[in-house]
């Protein structure tokens, strides 16, 4: 089996004195799409940020391309992995095309100008993410869903063998979600290692080779989505009666007992008055 492009072992993260991750594992190989799933606040984004080198570890290890993350310099790390954040910072006045071109910066030497090849790579990334039509718009004028797709284009422009995307479909409509699913699956089929943090379990089951379930700061299961996202686990981790159905052709459904009455003490989301 190919060496993992990403290997996170027993990751521990403490924020403001509070343990947020206490034992999370995540492995992704070239050609593989790994979905990271779990309830709100479980630690998925923290795990993805730690795996991307954007969150300091209090324990455990992250290896990217077989090397310890702490030993990889920033510019080289940016050529090895692209990270599409859940909540990107949107600078005033920047055009979409220029934002995507920033994705090329890890490939430039200091003060080196963008080449024709860089511009072509940015155009390809915009085309693949379906954002060419917004190329001349300012980032601040985009809708939430349009902006998410632009963020994916920025990540693609990096041309890194490992792409991590934190909930890139959360603001997308059904058609745009399907297009994103196809794009991410296509990237994995092209040989990238893709890590997708996602809430939609039916989507995860349709596109992912494996799913890592995060619950209360730990990875509690890892394997083919159809195996790990069984009824008992959905009850145990999400506190809901639900069943995943997959026919093996990329068509999936999540049957949820929406009104079955979750005990308030069990609910992962508590709405306070």
User: Quick one: 89 or 116, whose CB is closer to ligand ATP?
Assistant: 89
Cβ 76 to ligand ATP shortest distance, Å: 26
Residue 106 Cβ vs ligand ATP, minimum distance, rounded to whole Å: 25
Instruction: List residues binding ligand ATP (CB under 6 A).
Output: 15-16, 20, 38, 40-46
Query: Which residue number, 45 or 148, has a Cβ lying nearer to ligand ATP?
Result: 45
Residue closer to ligand ATP (CB basis): 12 or 137: 12
What is the three-class DSSP state of 197?
strand
Q: Which is nearer to ligand ATP, 45 or 252 (CB)?
A: 45
Nearest distance in Å: CB 149, ligand ATP: 19
The minimum distance between CB 15 and ligand ATP, in angstroms, equals: 5
CA-CA distance, 11 to 120, in Å (whole number)? 38
**Considering beta carbons, is residue 41 or 91 the nearer one to ligand ATP?**
41
The token pair that represents 71 in the structure block: 């030993």
Query: Count of CB atoms within 10 A of residue 20's CB?
Result: 22
First to last CA, the chain: 52
Closest separation in Å from C-beta 45 to ligand ATP = 3
């Amino acid at each position: 089996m190919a060496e993992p492009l990403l290997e996170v072992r027993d990751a521990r993260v403490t924020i403001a004195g509070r343990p947020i991750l206490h034992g999370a594992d995540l492995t992704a190989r070239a050609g593989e799409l790994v979905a990271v799933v779990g309830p709100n606040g479980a630690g998925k984004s923290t795990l993805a940020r730690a795996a991307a080198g954007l969150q300091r570890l209090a324990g455990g290890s992250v290896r990217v391309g077989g090397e310890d993350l702490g030993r990889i310099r920033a510019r080289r790390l940016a050529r090895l992995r692209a990270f599409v954040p859940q909540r990107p910072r949107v600078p005033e006045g920047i055009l979409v095309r220029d934002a995507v071109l920033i994705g090329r910066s890890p490939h430039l030497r200091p003060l080196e100008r963008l080449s024709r090849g860089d511009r072509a790579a940015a155009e390809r990334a915009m085309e693949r993410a379906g954002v060419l039509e917004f190329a001349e718009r300012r980032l601040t004028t985009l809708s939430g869903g349009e902006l998410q797709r632009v963020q994916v284009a920025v990540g693609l422009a990096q041309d890194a063998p490992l792409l991590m995307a934190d909930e890139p479909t959360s603001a997308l409509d059904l058609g745009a979600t399907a297009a994103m699913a196809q794009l991410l699956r296509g990237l994995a089929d092209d040989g990238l290692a893709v890590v997708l943090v996602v809430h939609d379990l039916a989507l995860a089951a349709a596109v992912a080779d494996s799913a890592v379930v995060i619950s209360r700061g730990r990875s509690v299961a890892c394997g083919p989505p159809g195996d790990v996202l069984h009824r008992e686990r959905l009850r145990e981790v999400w506190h809901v009666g639900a069943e995943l159905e997959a026919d093996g052709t990329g068509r999936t459904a999540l049957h949820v007992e929406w009104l079955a009455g979750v005990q308030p003490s069990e609910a992962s989301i508590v709405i306070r008055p």
